[in-house]
Structure 1
Amino acid sequence: MTATDTRTTPPAPVAGGAAEWSPRVMPPVGADLTERQKLACAFGILARSGFTENIAGHITVRAGDSGAPGGPGDPESLWINPWGLWWEEITASDLCRVSPAGDVLEGRWDVTPAYHIHTELHRRRPDARVVVHNHPYHATVLAALGVLPEFVHQTGSMFDGDLVFVDEYTGEVASSELGADLADRIGDASVVLLANHGVIVTGATVEEAVYRSATLERQCRLTYDVLGRDRTLVPPPLRRAMKASLLERGTEFFWNGAVRALLRDRPEVLD
């Protein structure tokens, strides 16, 4: 016997985010991290999340922002990973600080000229304090298909209104002119799939950029796994509230746990 649904009006959806509920206290990371240490952790976390392609990829953070290691009066330099180290082996002392022209101002190593993927985004957009770029497998598959991740699961709602596809491959972005052209194509989007290339994620903080990057690859895999099948999507009116809940409540949860797990295995990442 099938139960009869006697509802006449469905209940109103929740508001979502911190306005709906916030935790009284959160389990801490267990260490006070500098911004440089956070960036080193970002590489380790995303390497463990399957976001990397061996020699590829870079994450940049504006060094001159308040609280960042570049200090006041240095608004344009960037912290970035060096050429030659895999993401899973980077420590805080390995990071380099570079000028917008790519000159190494601090650090022992060279950096890739592909940092131009980042520089113009940092210059144009105050919201893009952190820029993450790599070639995670399932995001790259969708980029080859010309398909953006769909809202097939509630967690994908964190990308509502943020996605764009750059549909032309222009080769290695190794000049300021190519970086400016890419920034024109991206506009104000914060999650970008690049045809035949990879993905860019921007964020206001290291914590948020890493959470969104790790989550994106899983959402791309979910989309790929259901391609060609009948599927349902999260309704557009419900995505905003879920997005707020994920980012406003979930970012600290994800980051703290990911750092704790990383430091159990690689405490030297902070060195």
Structure 2
Amino acid sequence: MSHIFTMGGGVKHDGQSLKERVSEVEWNARVELALCYRLIAHFGLTDTIYNHISYRIPGEEEHLLLNPFGLLYEEVTASSLIKVDVEGNILDDTTGLGINKAGFIIHGAIHEARPDVNCVLHTHTDAGLAVAANAAGLLPISQPAALFMNRIGYHDYEGIVLRMDERQRLVKNLGAYNFLILRNHGLLTAGASIAKTFQWMLILQQACSVQVKALAGNPELTELTPAAIEEAQVAHDQSDAEVDWQALRRMIDRYAPDYRD
């Protein structure tokens, strides 16, 4: 595809394995992020080799991990993840594949502008695209949708994200939120942890899928009341995403434990 570019290449380290030469903190971050890629693949939220999930390495505020451009999400492992700085300069790439420039423009902008955000997850699912094309946006018609009401930003489509000046508008439209619908483009969640960011995306995807199905045939819909929305949000905000995350880890460990490699 002519609008996709790669940046950087592999670096050799005298035969030393990646796990041996990075810190324990970085390696653990790689394992967690690789797990997230496998989970996105498991739930069918991928767009072949496109999109990203990025993660800021704990204790290294300017260093991020994300997928090499060319691997399917089901192929991503801890050691294949690429380490870059917030400007997209490659610091470590064992694959030699480089990164998707268009995708990094989005992720790099959010990481740079939001120090509270450690993980950014972006998808191009059919349901997400359908809601992103709906002028009304996400509707308050389901329990999953309740989480996002009055808490989600919208960013108008400007074409394939290759212009650096779009970053400031994207960041402005996200604002202090953790959720963003990119009009005619897809969904984005951003959070302090991988577990929470993934959980939010799964719920946002469900809300979009329910909306598409509910609108089929143009029926009259029942909307949630403001009081019900507030109650649902309070309950969710008090929930622990780590419980879900560990259950999902056990599932992936049973049939695809190579994400840890």
Alignment TM-score > 0.5, same fold: yes
* 1:229 aligned onto 2:216: no
* Residues 162-207 of structure 1: CA deviation (Å, up to 9, x unaligned): 212223x212223432222321233223211112211111111100
Q: Is the contact between residue 129 and residue 202 of structure 1 (CA under 8 Å) also seen in structure 2?
A: yes
| Structure 1 residue 269, shift from structure 2 partner | 0.6
Q: Could you list the runs of 5+ residues in structure 1 that have no partner in the other structure?
A: 1-32
Whichever residue aligns with residue 260 of structure 2, its letter is: L
After superposing on structure 2, the runs of 4+ consecutive aligned residues of structure 1 that deviate more than 3 Å are none
Q: Pick from 125, 133, 137 the counterpart of residue 136 of structure 1.
A: 125
Give the deviation of 1:136 after TM superposition: 1.3
Give the fraction of aligned pairs with identical amino acids, expressed as a percent: 27
Give per-residue Cα distances to partners, 1:74-107, cap 9 Å, x unaligned: 3212111110111121111111110122111012
Q: Distance between the aligned counterparts of 1:224 and 1:161, measured in 2?
A: 20
Larger radius of gyration: 1
- Other-structure match for 2:197: 209
Q: Please list the CA deviations of residues 98-131 of structure 1 after superposition, one character each: whole Å capped at 9, or x if unmatched.
A: 0122111012230111201011211222332211
Which of the residues 255, 258, 262 maps onto 2:245? 255
1:171 pairs, out of 143, 159, 165, with 159
Report the 3-state secondary structure (helix = DSSP H, G, I; strand = E; otherwise coil) of the residue aligned with 2:195: helix
> Contact 1:148–1:163 (CA<8 Å) still a contact in 2?
no
Which TM-score applies when normalising by structure 1? 0.79
Aligned counterpart for 2:187 among listed residues 183, 196, 199: 199
The root-mean-square deviation of aligned C-alpha atoms, in Å, is 1.8
Q: Relative CO higher for 1 or 2, CA cutoff 8 Å, sep ≥ 6? A: 1
Q: Letter of the 2:220 partner, please give it.
A: D
Q: Which residue of 2 aligns with 1:55?
A: 49
Gaps of 5+ in 2: 1-26
User: Scaled by the length of structure 2, what TM-score is found?
Assistant: 0.82
Alpha-carbon separation, structure 1, partners of 2:237 and 2:78:
26
Counterparts of 1:191 and 1:253 in 2: how far apart (Å)?
21
Distance 1:263 1:247, change over 3 A: farther
Task: Describe the SS at the equivalent of 2:140.
Answer: coil
Contact kept in structure 1, 2:139 and 2:145, CA below 8 Å: yes
In the alignment, which residue of structure 2 is the partner of 1:35? 29
Does the 8 Å contact 1:40/1:92 carry over to 2? yes
Task: Tell me which residue corresponds to 1:93.
Answer: 79
Query: Does residue 1:118 correspond to 2:107, yes or no?
Result: yes
Contact between 1:118 and 1:179, CA under 8 Å: does it hold in 2? no
Q: Is the 8 A contact 1:113 1:175 kept in 2?
A: no
